[in-house]
Amino acid sequence: MILAMILLVGLAGFGQEPQTPIPDLNSLVGKQVTVQRVRLCQPGTYSAVRSYAGKQATVVSAKPSKITLPSQDVMEKWPKQSRTLVEDQRNAATILVQFEDGTQLDTCAPVPATRISEYFELKPGESLQTLQPVLQRSTDLPVTSAPVAPKPLAPAADAPSDPVMSAPIAPTPLAPAPDLLSDDEVKLALSGKGRDHWVFIMDMGLNLMVPEGNQVPTITLFMPEAVLAIRAESAKKQFTRYEPDEDVKRRSLMIVAEGAAGKTIAEGCTSITRIVLLSDPSGGVVQEAYLSEPLAETWQNSFGATNHCQSLRAEFSLADVYKVRAAAPNGEFLVAVFSGSVNTKMYKIKKKHQSKLALEGPPNAKQNGKR
């Protein structure tokens, strides 16, 4: 919840980073490695063994993880960071090693390809083969050749000599303008009206089962007036003036989803890669976010070991929210949260939540009802 509120104060942009090579874990088989300060397990069990840290072993096998990728259409809408995370999980593998005394141990669970160095160190001079990333969008790919300019059209006999006039270009259709709050609505929000139009929902079923100190999966929903009010309030406390841009003024529903995280590093954490709106569990009506932005998080214990996971912020146009709600039984729609291809949780947005958000209905709905 703290992360979700910090988010509203301001988010750092994610730059275009160069693609990190992905190690091919299959090329580990047969190589000599030194085990790092990590736990290993007896094959087929979760019985942890730590006494082999620092010892040399031979890699016997690399069992790939079983992860089903979403469709290309879905992945096209994900931010690059989310697609990179899924790529890493797709190439994860459970590594089995054998020590000089004949003991065989594995990594307990699939290890993401880019984190293999945290588990094993190769002998000097050894290296791994790399994989070609497959989850790239066309906008992520480098330009390999310059575009070829079209040949100019031959002017007609009675055409003017001006080449611009001789080959008129059809205008490019403009994208529809986003639905924005009015100036009066923005002014009221900046003054604090609607600040309480947000809802925090916890996975109560899991909350009853997890040990104390573990992070329980949650989502937090914000209406645009709440975002404006909270950010304006934060700016005022810093003796600055908040000037919202057009994106913040959109009539949208912002959702921040956080996954489960164990109290210890060994218990791991869940990264969120996608949030989607559903009318019902069968997916009668599905709406994707028009914007998704990953939020990097790091958990660290007292020994310096870390887990790297991500939460996710997604924004949906209110028009899409109303479409899903209209098709939902009793008007109570669902928010599905994914980690890769796994649906980790579906939260029902009940009438009481919608009332707290002041999610009453499409603009002009009341006026249209009076006619």
Residue 266: the pLDDT is: 55
Domain of residue 244 covers 181-361
The answer to whether residue 333 sits within a structural domain is: yes
Contact present, 35 and 119 (Cβ < 8 Å): yes
The domain total for the chain is: 2
- Strands of the chain, DSSP E: 22-23, 32-35, 40-41, 48-49, 56-64, 93-99, 104-106, 120-122, 130-131, 198-202, 218-222, 252-258, 274-278, 286-288, 291-300, 306-317, 333-339, 342-349
The answer to whether residue 367 sits within a structural domain is: no
What pLDDT digit, counting tens, does each position of 114-164 carry?
A: 778 888 888 887 777 766 554 444 444 343 334 444 444 444 444 444 433
Q: Are 238 and 109 members of one domain?
A: no
CA distance 109 to 307: 14
The answer to whether residue 213 sits within a structural domain is: yes
Residue 362: the pLDDT is: 64
Q: Are 218 and 297 members of one domain?
A: yes
State how far the alpha carbon of 241 is from the alpha carbons of 184, 189, 237, in Å.
18, 14, 10
Q: How large is the average pLDDT for residues 339-364?
A: 86
Range of weakest confidence among 18-22, 207-211, 247-251: 207-211
- Is the confidence at residue 229, as pLDDT, over 90? yes
Q: Are 43 and 186 members of one domain?
A: no
DSSP string, 238-282: TT------TGGGBSEEEEEEE--B-SSGGG-B----EEEEESSTT
- Is the confidence at residue 75, as pLDDT, over 80? no
In this prediction, residue 46 has a pLDDT band, given cuts at 50, 70 and 90, of low
In this prediction, residue 311 has a pLDDT band, given cuts at 50, 70 and 90, of confident
- Is the confidence at residue 335, as pLDDT, over 80? yes
pTM score > 0.85 for this model?
Answer: no
- Is the confidence at residue 253, as pLDDT, over 70? yes
Residue 185: the pLDDT is: 95
Q: Are 326 and 239 members of one domain?
A: yes
Among 284, 274, 281, which Cα is nearest to 316's? Answer: 274
The answer to whether residue 170 sits within a structural domain is: no
The answer to whether residue 370 sits within a structural domain is: no
Q: Which residue has the higher pLDDT, 238 or 44?
A: 238
The answer to whether residue 118 sits within a structural domain is: yes
Q: Are 109 and 219 members of one domain?
A: no
- Is the confidence at residue 365, as pLDDT, over 80? no
Q: Are 52 and 195 members of one domain?
A: no
Range of weakest confidence among 222-226, 291-295, 325-329: 291-295
Percent of the chain having pLDDT more than 90?
A: 33
In a 10 Å sphere around its CB, with 0-12 CB exposed, 13-18 middle and 19+ buried, how is residue 365 labelled?
exposed
What pLDDT digit, counting tens, does each position of 162-217 carry?
A: 433 333 444 444 445 668 999 999 999 999 999 999 999 998 665 444 555 567 88
Residue 348: the pLDDT is: 95
Q: Are 217 and 278 members of one domain?
A: yes
In this prediction, residue 336 has a pLDDT band, given cuts at 50, 70 and 90, of very high
Q: How large is the average pLDDT for residues 290-312?
A: 65
SS percent in the chain: helix, strand, coil, step 5: 25, 25, 45
The answer to whether residue 145 sits within a structural domain is: no
Residue 126: the pLDDT is: 74
The answer to whether residue 313 sits within a structural domain is: yes
- Is the confidence at residue 319, as pLDDT, over 70? yes
Q: Work out the mean pLDDT of the chain and round it to a whole number.
A: 75
- Is the confidence at residue 268, as pLDDT, over 70? no
Residue 300: the pLDDT is: 52
